[in-house]
Amino acid sequence: MTTLEQPVSDTEIFRQTRVFDAPEELMWKVWTDPEHLVKWWGPAGMQVILKEVDIRVGGRLLYGMQGPMGIMWGRFVYRLLSEPNLLAYVVSFTNEQGDPVRHPMVANWPLEVLAVQTFDESNGKTTMESRSYPINATPEERAVFTAGHAGMQMGFAGTFAQLEAYLAKLKEQQP
């Protein structure tokens, strides 16, 4: 098992908890199956392009988000996968080849952010807890990340609203 870096302080952790009307097995699939992921991941109004999909420890997901200003590339490098309860991966903005680059709009954004998500099912609903924090970052990059929590909250609210709508659509399609 790989160990995960710990945040420098508790205040730098970006936390989210949300309950989804879906069993954890389906939550795992929508996070790890590319056919599901392209239908809900990313900011509203952006189309997801999957360029590379290798979902295993050490593997990566290289994706683009197509919007009015062009394609913004990013990647997940998977650290831990424990189906159906735990995903941990390093998130980076990248070029099209998958090499880390600076955030296109925030120059001092950390190059690497560790995201750890857990899924816990109860009565057919799954609580997703997500914790993200910078790793291998300077104090200035950590401060920029912490200052960006409110903006990230708004961005992920839209992404998770898309996930909720997608899960509802899947539920309607069940016999």
* pLDDT value of residue 3: 65
* pLDDT value of residue 104: 87
Q: Output the six-digit token pair for 129.
A: 């807890």
Q: What is the mean pLDDT of the chain?
A: 94
CA–CA separation, 106 and 120 (whole Å): 34
Average pLDDT estimate for 44-68: 94
pLDDT in tens, 112-141: 999 999 999 999 999 999 999 999 999 999
CA–CA separation, 128 and 16 (whole Å): 8
**Residue 142: which H helix or E strand, with range?**
helix 139-147
* pLDDT value of residue 1: 40
pLDDT in tens, 83-103: 999 999 999 999 999 999 999
Please tell us whether the domain made up of 16-173 is placed in CATH 3.40.50.1860.
Answer: no
CA–CA separation, 168 and 175 (whole Å): 13
Does 5 have pLDDT greater than 90? no
User: Cβ contacts of residue 42 below 8 Å, gap of 6+?
Assistant: 48, 65, 159, 162
Does 21 have pLDDT greater than 80? yes
* pLDDT value of residue 69: 85
Measured CA to CA in angstroms, residue 114 lies from 14, 76, 78, 137, 144 at distances of 10, 9, 10, 11, 15
pLDDT band at 7 (very low <50, low <70, confident <90, very high): confident
Strand 60-67 and strand 125-134: the pairing is unpaired
Domain boundaries, the chain: 16-173
What is the distance, to the nearest Å, from the Cα of residue 137 to the centroid of all Cα atoms in its chain? 19
